[in-house]
Amino acid sequence: MSNNENIHVSDTAFVTCAFRRLNESLSQDYYAKLWYNDKAELILKDYLSKVSTEEVQTHCIRNRYFLEQLKRLITEHKIEVLINFGAGFSMYPFLLEQNITHIEIDKPEVVDYKKLQVDQWISENKLPQRHINFIGVDFSTDYRDDLIVKINALKGNKSCFILLEGVLFFLNRSESEKLFEVFSTIQQSKDYIGSVSYTNEVHKTKAYKRLLKYANKELDDASDNGLQTVENSFYENLESYQLIDHQDYFSCSKLFQNTPECEATHILNEHFYILQKD
């Protein structure tokens, strides 16, 4: 793949679906296959060969972890709204109960395309009926006040879970802190955040060195100073929040009966965090 064919973050939405499609029993996402895309398949094969063949399982585990967490909290009547920041082509609305309010936030071109496709598949009975509130945002702009108004108009006083899945890697620290300040403004006591990131430990792995080489060559849509790792202390010290669960690929593999195939140094070990507001 030449440099003038660089991968955009929007392309990763297709690729992430392809990962989940390749092991449905692990991801529990039975709709990801709808996003099959020839270009994504080429990127997928190239990425797996150049970075880590374990990435199918790591993405499936990530989806499964948050899906199970969301199902539990919904069953326990602890959340009424799911707000998915950087939602891409995730399919949680169709994997969860119908009575949950869904707000999905991503770049305008991503949400516009997703809405078009989802509406078509619902009309063709390929997806169950769901209503998703889409908000298009350019996170590199001064989006804060306008976004808060739009979210609050949709959410009201309902309890919510904010999901930030596969986003922080593409942001720098300043943008990340700005985003969590928005979350704190939106949320009320007992609301939840689910987040995904790598810790600095990943720097020691051969897989991460290959990822950086791949990303620097093929990915041209991350923020300046993006491709960040986030230490546990970032979550532990967030003002007004308590870290109530922390897992990673290896702990969740035990939970979901997945046996890692590669040595640890060839695996990009994502960490999963659940926070609750004081």
- Residue identified by tokens 């930030």 is 164
So what's the pLDDT on residue 142? 83
Q: What is the CA radius of gyration of the chain?
A: 18
Task: Tell me the C-alpha distance between 204 and 212, whole Å.
Answer: 12
Write the CA distances from 64 to 31, 57, 112, integer angstroms: 13, 10, 26
Q: CA-CA distance, 158 to 78, in Å (whole number)?
A: 10
Nearest to 65 by CA among 277, 248, 230, 191: 248
Which strand (E) or helix (H) includes residue 162?
strand 160-164
Q: Are strands 271-277 and 241-248 parallel, antiparallel or unpaired?
A: antiparallel
Determine contact, residues 111/104, Cβ cutoff 8 Å.
yes
Count each helix (H run) and each strand (E run) in the chain, helices first: 11, 7
The pLDDT tens digits along the chain (278 residues) read 333 344 455 688 899 999 999 999 999 999 999 999 898 899 999 999 999 999 999 999 999 999 999 999 999 999 999 999 999 999 999 999 889 999 999 999 999 999 999 999 999 999 999 999 999 998 777 889 999 999 999 999 999 999 999 888 888 888 889 899 999 999 999 999 999 999 999 999 999 999 988 887 665 554 445 578 999 999 999 999 999 999 999 999 999 999 999 999 999 999 999 999 99
What pLDDT, on the 0 to 100 scale, is given for residue 156? 95
221: containing domain: 3-277
pLDDT (0 to 100) of residue 157: 95
User: According to the model, what pLDDT value does residue 226 have?
Assistant: 54
Question: What is the token pair recorded at 3?
Answer: 């440099």
Number of structural domains the chain divides into: 1
Residue 202, domain CATH: 3.40.50.150
